[in-house]
Amino acid sequence: MKSILCSMHNRRKRFSRMRTAVLGAALAAGALTGCESSGSDTIVLRVSNWEEYIDLGGWDQEDLIDLEDGTKILGKENLTREFEAWFFETYGKKVRVEYSTYGTNEELYNQLTLGDTYDLVCPSEYMIMKMMREDMLIPFSEDFYDTEKEHNYYAKGLSPYIKGVYDDLSIEGEVLSSYAAGYMWGTLGLVYNPEYVTQEQAAHWDLLLNEDFYRRITIKDSVRDAYFAAVSIANLDAITNPDFLNSPDYGERLSEILNATDQETVDAVENILSQAKDNVYSFETDSGKADLVTGKVVANQQWSGDAVYTMDQAEEDGVELCYSAPEEGTNLWFDGWVMLKDGIGQDEDKQLAAEAFINFLSRPDNVIRNMYYIGYTSVISGGDSDLIFQYADWCYGAGEDEEDTVEYPLGYFFSGDAEDGAYIITAAGDQARRQLYAQYPPLDVVERSVVMACFEEEDNARINRMWTNVRCFDILRFFGIEKK
Amino acid sequence: MKRNLFSRKQLAVPYIIFLLLFVVLPLFVVLYYGFTDQEGNLSFANFLAFFTNAKTIGTLLYSVVIGLLTTAVCLLLAYPVAYILAKGAYARRHAFLMVFVLPMWINFTLRITAMKEILTVLEGNLAYHPFFNTILCMVYDFLPFMIMPLFNTLTKLDNQYLEAAGDLGATRAQTFFKVVLPLSVPGIVSGVTMVFLPAMTNYVVLDMVYNSTYIMGSLIGSYFSAYDWHNGSVISLILLLLIAGVTLVSNRFSREQEARR
């Protein structure tokens, strides 16, 4: 049980730390405004990120991460403050980070279109593509990709697997990897309570429609996540038959099917989501985690990072939960840093600071601090440094007295070679269905994962209309009037 | 000695500034978006879209039904309470009133969170009866707003009217329906306006009790989060018209009652 206890122990500390850390950050911010003497030689970098998506420091001594090779990692200070010091040391220029947060991609986009200016923001893949399409971004410099440079931690450390995904994604002829630097990534799946739901039932998205769990499952109150699950259900037979699975262009065809937005698909989705609405406990934004722990619901739709957090919390209350990335396919999502044209413009110093900020966050020790603090998975695998793999092993590696263990290969992520024997975690057997599986999906999950594209405006409008239709009171059905 | 430090005009300045900045100006923005299309041209298409879509009409209807039911249940519960408190021979009637108004001191999301747990125990699963739970929590939320105006009106009601009615041979029921009820209409009207309209748009309650059906408030939110300012604004305007309509009708109603006295 060492692995679970170990991860439990670590994460439990995370919660207690957050409060003190937030307080510390508030104090630091207060102190900062008190002595704001930004001369013209100080670069001001305006960063906006998701809430609770960066390590704020202030760890207790018990949080010390003690890796196998003797490296000790402890988050003392807010990472943005540490970046300011590091930047001055490295580049000899002063920088001040003005850090703010947002709750959804749409909120960020609305802020930007209503006139707020930022230099560096961290939206999800589809929003990055929307911003690329609307010419809101500037590409990174060539220097940023130079793996020879000492401080280019991002270029050197990016997981070969993630790099491949970014290089393949393009919109209107522009490759995503020239405009976005990844931050965190994961899958979309189902967290379930194995006491009620079998592994087999949770292996399919149609669990959401299963009447055996009438009013005991929640679905995300988010158009895109609900849409993805419903499209998978609509195409269940087509995408799980052996012929399709073994077809040479399986990946491309799966992506095409799960990204369909034609009227026929949207109608099918509307039908499925209306059924789901009558069957699920709720469309939730935040209550799902707590409801799983209290047993009000037995499964819910979750992003992998939140799933890790949910399983950790449930464990503290003595409830064992599992995670599943369904067999039809899972949505491979990621958040990435992009530089805004309105903010950075032609300012070379600012661009330097922005790129340095990404590199600083991609330095292996900082990657580990962030992952430990927020529970999500970084896109950085570490390159020459194997600290991040050591951290994964530290979290999930089984103890010596563990009897039921599995070999969990992660070569595809860490070295780009799925067969690589150097990157295998020997984990407790249940971790292959639980936190480890959610944090680092195995190769078979990754192979059936699909990046959900940024839809065209007219398709988006159609999907939003469908969503409103699902959620509105159906007066025709209420009075028994048949739809044509 | 000067009578007043400031003239009446001067005293009005802070509020007028507030009104212009945060009420009138946003209203014009809403008007602009409501009557333009994506390209910024004058258009009534948004209004047409609202009134020709069965789903949005359904939402309006659903909201109105929630508003009406909440108001009706509140009225039925609040009237006897207010009457007993106002007319009963209690030495400490204000202390009793306090007991009924006390819940207002606690934040309503907190109260509904508590309510959710109670309902989960009673019903087994909160999601089995989303509509019933919505009405129940709305009533719980808005009841004090109905009791207060009724209590105020009923305490002002002169007992001599009741005595006169009794002397002239009216039964107790007749006294209530012919004297007390008509005289308390102003209280009913102000209670109804304080409950009906907020209940129609208070989507937080629906979210909290897991009623996934949209009401007017959530519909506006869904349009805005899809960057559709135009259709969202139209719904705000429709609600505004509805509020204006209800206020006009209820004002006329209570003025007629005043005049009859």
Instruction: State the Cα–Cα distance between residues B219 and B196, nearest whole angstrom.
Output: 18
User: Nearest CA to CA, how far is B214 from chain A (Å)?
Assistant: 5
pLDDT at A377: 95
Which of A10-19, A96-105, A352-361, B164-173 shows the lowest per-residue confidence on average (mean pLDDT)?
A10-19
Q: What angle do CA B181, B182, B186 make, to 5 degrees?
A: 100
User: Nearest CA to CA, how far is A281 from chain B (Å)?
Assistant: 5
Helix (H, G, I), strand (E, B) or coil at B161: helix
pLDDT at B93: 78
pLDDT at B48 over 80: yes
| pLDDT digit string, tens, across residues A228-277 | 999 999 999 999 999 999 999 999 999 999 999 999 999 999 999 999 99
* CB contact (8 A) between residue B55 and residue A468: yes
Using pLDDT thresholds of 50, 70 and 90, give the confidence band for residue B223: confident
Using pLDDT thresholds of 50, 70 and 90, give the confidence band for residue B2: low
Say whether pTM exceeds 0.80.
yes
* Structure token pair of residue B151: 């209590």
Chain A residues in contact with B127 (beta carbon < 8 A): 215, 280-282
pLDDT at A39: 57
Give chain A's domains with CATH numbers: 2-25+42-186+333-386 (3.40.190.10), 188-330+449-476 (3.40.190.10)
Q: Is A296 exposed, middle or buried (0-12, 13-18, 19+ CB in 10 A)?
A: buried
> What mean pLDDT comes out for the span B195-200?
89
Q: Who wins on pLDDT, A155 or B96?
A: A155
> What mean pLDDT comes out for the span B120-144?
91
pLDDT at A15: 35
Instruction: State the Cα–Cα distance between residues A468 and A1, nearest whole angstrom.
Output: 47
Using pLDDT thresholds of 50, 70 and 90, give the confidence band for residue A478: confident
Instruction: State the Cα–Cα distance between residues A284 and B210, nearest whole angstrom.
Output: 8
| pLDDT digit string, tens, across residues A340-350 | 999 999 999 99
pLDDT at A25 over 80: no
Cβ atoms < 10 Å from Cβ of A50:
21
pLDDT at A31 over 80: no
Q: What angle do CA A336, A231, A53 make, to 5 degrees?
A: 25
Chain B residues in contact with A107 (beta carbon < 8 A): 225
Chain A residues in contact with B228 (beta carbon < 8 A): 464
- Indicate the residue type of A123: P
pLDDT at B148 over 60: yes
User: In this complex, which of A215, A461, A468 lies closest to B222 when CB atoms are compared?
Assistant: A468
> Hey, which residues 195-234 in chain A have their CB within 8 Å of chain B?
215-216, 223
Q: Who wins on pLDDT, B132 or B93?
A: B132
Indicate the Cα dihedral angle A123, A127, A130, A136, nearest 10°: -20
pLDDT at A86: 96
The answer to whether the CB of A450 falls within 8 A of the CB of A189 is no
* Structure token pair of residue A33: 């405004």
Q: What are phi and psi of A228, to 5 degrees?
A: -60, -45
* CB contact (8 A) between residue B225 and residue A104: yes
pLDDT at A388 over 60: yes
Pick the CATH number of B29-36+43-260 from 3.40.50.2300, 1.10.1740.110, 1.10.3720.10, 3.40.50.1100: 1.10.3720.10
Instruction: State the Cα–Cα distance between residues B96 and A423, nearest whole angstrom.
Output: 71
pLDDT at A143: 94
pLDDT at A149: 92
The answer to whether the CB of A456 falls within 8 A of the CB of A131 is no
Instruction: State the Cα–Cα distance between residues A76 and A82, nearest whole angstrom.
Output: 9
The answer to whether the CB of A460 falls within 8 A of the CB of A127 is no
pLDDT at B211 over 70: yes
The answer to whether the CB of B178 falls within 8 A of the CB of B170 is yes
Question: Tell me, what's the ipTM?
Answer: 0.82
pLDDT at A133 over 90: yes
> What mean pLDDT comes out for the span A403-418?
92
Using pLDDT thresholds of 50, 70 and 90, give the confidence band for residue A483: low
| pLDDT digit string, tens, across residues A49-76 | 999 899 999 998 888 999 989 899 999 8
pLDDT at B260 over 90: no
- Which of B189, B249, B211 shows the shortest CA–CA distance to B59? B211
User: Nearest CA to CA, how far is A286 from chain B (Å)?
Assistant: 11
> What mean pLDDT comes out for the span A155-181?
93
pLDDT at A13: 30
Return all residues near A362 (Cβ < 8 A) that are at least 6 apart.
A153, A154, A157, A158, A181, A378, A380
- How does the average pLDDT of chain B come out, rounded? 88
Instruction: State the Cα–Cα distance between residues A199 and A189, nearest whole angstrom.
Output: 13
Q: What residue of B is the nearest CA neighbor of A280?
A: B127
Residue with structure tokens 């690589």? Answer: A420
> What mean pLDDT comes out for the span B207-213?
88
| pLDDT digit string, tens, across residues A287-332 | 778 888 888 899 999 999 999 989 998 998 899 999 999 999 999 9
What is the interface size between A and B, counted as CB pairs within 8 Å?
75
Residue with structure tokens 């009000």? Answer: A296
* Structure token pair of residue A346: 């032609």
* Structure token pair of residue A349: 């110093």
Chain A residues in contact with B225 (beta carbon < 8 A): 104, 106-107
> What mean pLDDT comes out for the span A398-403?
84
- Which of A181, A74, A153, A163 shows the shortest CA–CA distance to A363? A153
pLDDT at A399: 82
Q: What residue of A is the nearest CA neighbor of B129?
A: A215
Q: Which of B38, B212, B216, B220 to mutate to test the interface with A (most CBs of A within 10 A)?
A: B212
